[in-house]
Amino acid sequence: MSEPTAARPARSEASVGVVQAIVAYGLWGLMPLLFAAMAPAGAFEIVAWRIVFGLVFCAVAITVTRSWLRTRSLLAQRRVMLVMGLAAVLILVNWTVYVAATTTGHTVEAALGYFINPLVTIALGVVVLRERLRAAQWVAVGISVVAVVVIAVGYGQVPWISLALAFSFGLYGLVKKRVGGTVDALSGLTIETVWLLPIAVGALVVLGVTGLGGGVTFTSEGWPHALVTVLTGPATAVPLLLFASSARRVSLSTLGLTQYLAPVMQLLVGVVVQHEAMPPARWIGFGIVWAALVVLTVDSFVAARAARRRTLAPAAAEPA
């Protein structure tokens, strides 16, 4: 699937990959609208149903693709299960913070978190994996720190939502990297939701019994509300599967460029649709983050081009 075929040349494969990435990040960017449509459901109920119906969707997808054998083999591997359990905890934190933010008037702050995420990922690579950064990458990380300080001063407090989203998703990617070569996207999401299912069921029981946060609204708000709730399953899984397929078709630099589509759309939803405030200090902070991302993107393209030249140089030097 990842290799170009005679029927589909490399250029066509890359085009398909770009479209898949755009659709994936576009769906992620519109996610706040889905959560808003689930009102009056609270954040904990939304996350719980997202886990339940996400697992149902994964089970159907595994059945359709006839990949139960592969998934069962992963379930039998203790190390894989432990790593995926840790990944499940991190994605649970990420989902809960994100849903709570986008349903309580903090979509813009959530968008900032995903703008910062690539820079946090680089920082984690240095601290955890002992990776060495190029000068431009250090500059980008330094600029992002300045941006957070500017926003914190202007906003009057540390942007905890942004930082929680950036670090939880960055750590999630770091953990998934440990098993990336053995766990495919569909099996990975299935295992994560299997880990989280008891928590989701427990949360729904507690909400139903105590009525906290409005209780469980799935069956009390009519069939349109129930239908939107069920759609959280495919809305969770489809972008991830499209992203995984795209990653096999396009370069990392291209994929990195398209990832900014999601937070841009989240920012637009927050400002244009949900009418969240954007004081001057926040615009300045976002502008500084965008400057850091420009530095990072340009450096990625330059590095990729230099690596390509180094790869082609030996072949060009060989005698005909």
Within a domain: 261:
yes
Within a domain: 97:
yes
Q: What is the pTM of this model?
A: 0.82
Within a domain: 196:
yes
Q: Which domain holds residue 85?
A: 12-313
Q: What are the tens digits of pLDDT across the range 62-107? A: 999 888 888 899 888 888 899 999 999 999 999 999 999 999 999 9
Within a domain: 122:
yes
Helix ranges, 231-279 (H)? 232-247, 252-258, 261-268
For residue 213, what pLDDT band results from cuts at 50, 70 and 90?
A: confident
Scan for tokens 């005679």, then name that residue: 6
Within a domain: 3:
no
What are the helix and strand counts (H, E) for the chain? 13, 0
Is 176 in contact with 89 (CB distance < 8 Å)?
no
Within a domain: 156:
yes
Within a domain: 320:
no
| CA 75 – CA 92 distance, rounded (Å) | 20
State yes or no: cis peptide before 40, omega within 30 of 0.
yes
Name the domain count of the chain.
Answer: 1
Per-chain mean pLDDT for the chain = 83
| CA 47 – CA 99 distance, rounded (Å) | 7
Within a domain: 4:
no
Kindly give, in sequence order, each residue whose CB lies less than 8 Å from that of residue 11, ignoring residues fewer than 6 positions away.
none
